[in-house]
Chain A
């Protein structure tokens, strides 16, 4: 067992005006994740520590935090990879509710704004068939777990919270590329707007921090190509 030094950002809305860092010493071995360490602090040191978590296996996307300034899933980040103080803060660019818990309302609003569901006039009961090639077109973009790490990595979202952001635009692209979907026309106004795909300047950090390797930056910039095509086609329409 090794002792690790954790600096955890604390914020109690009932008493604090701004967040502060609090130091905790946590024992750990090569299997101890940041989430394990946070739960140790909550259970053994300070029961009032607020954090979100659920599955502990990088599926639910709940335990996103900033670890030394980089957005990470707590359950997928291990203490063994850090050799000095580990600073743990809530996800950047979101409003902090308490300690490591952020308000994700805006993020969820962006996700629902792009109509993330199949839109078609299909009403039959037979299976809607799809070939492996058709599936491959969007499959990579469908693996999003809505953890929000890409929003914390995106300075454009930090500067303008109205920007739809990486996950939402990736999700729009995921449905636009689905052979079973006919809802592209309904999604394009969102993507074409100034807070849509064109708000991205291809910083690319979102793809770097994505725990599911979706490459959201690629999806956003593919959406720009779609948006440009949409614009050109609209010029020739009566």
Chain B
């Protein structure tokens, strides 16, 4: 008796490198992930500032001059916008991962906490500077 020959020939397509460009949902996801890039610049500035602080007045002055340049301000504003966008997505996802209270309460609570901490830090730094 002949063994039947299988006609199976499954076609497996490969996911292209540009998969994330094909749908708005994926583009927004990649934007969320990309918010880390301007934040890296901000952290670099912060570390550079701390380093200058330990090196004396002249270095601190040069750091301040560096920070006042237009492109540095623009990149830091971008980092600020990116962190706000990331916070928005994070705050919306958090109640789904840890459903401790109604989602709207957790989301508004997180924004309130952010505002309070930001205001506290601003007051503290304002008084110190």
Contacts from A to B (Cβ < 8 Å): 11, 13-14, 16, 18-19, 69-70, 92-93, 95-97, 103, 155, 158-159, 201-205, 208, 215, 217-218, 221-222, 224-225
Contacts of B19 in A (CB 8 A): 155, 158
Is the CB–CB distance between A69 and B98 below 8 Å?
no
Encode contact with A along B13-46: 1 for CB under 8 Å, 0 otherwise: 1010001101101100100010000000000000
Contacts of B10 in A (CB 8 A): 13, 95-97, 103
Complex alpha-carbon distance, A138 and B46, angstroms = 45
- Given A215-B96, A225-B97, A205:B25 Cβ within 8 A: yes
Is the CB–CB distance between A70 and B96 below 8 Å?
no
Contacts of A201 in B (CB 8 A): 33
B128 in contact (CB, < 8 A) = no
B1 in contact (CB, < 8 A) = no
Is the CB–CB distance between A19 and B15 below 8 Å?
no
B2 in contact (CB, < 8 A) = no
Is the CB–CB distance between A70 and B97 below 8 Å?
no
- Given A215-B96, A224-B97, A96:B11 Cβ within 8 A: yes
Complex alpha-carbon distance, A69 and B22, angstroms = 8
B117 in contact (CB, < 8 A) = no
Kindly report which residue of chain A lies nearest to residue B90, judged by CB atoms.
A202
3 A-B pairs with least C-beta separation: A95-B10, A13-B9, A218-B96
- Given A95-B10, A97-B10, A204-B29, A221:B96 Cβ within 8 A: yes
Task: Offer 5 A-B interface pairs, CB within 8 angstroms, sorted by A.
Answer: A155-B20, A159-B15, A203-B26, A204-B29, A221-B97
B93 in contact (CB, < 8 A) = yes
Kindly report which residue of chain B lies nearest to residue A222, judged by CB atoms.
B97
Is the CB–CB distance between A158 and B15 below 8 Å?
yes
Is the CB–CB distance between B11 and A11 below 8 Å?
yes
Complex alpha-carbon distance, A13 and B7, angstroms = 7
B64-78 with Cβ < 8 A to chain A: none
Kindly report which residue of chain B lies nearest to residue A95, judged by CB atoms.
B10
Kindly report which residue of chain A lies nearest to residue B96, judged by CB atoms.
A218
Complex alpha-carbon distance, A215 and B96, angstroms = 8
Contacts of B8 in A (CB 8 A): 13, 97
Kindly report which residue of chain B lies nearest to residue A208, judged by CB atoms.
B25
Contacts of B11 in A (CB 8 A): 11, 13, 16, 18-19, 95-96
B54 in contact (CB, < 8 A) = no
Kindly report which residue of chain A lies nearest to residue B98, judged by CB atoms.
A225
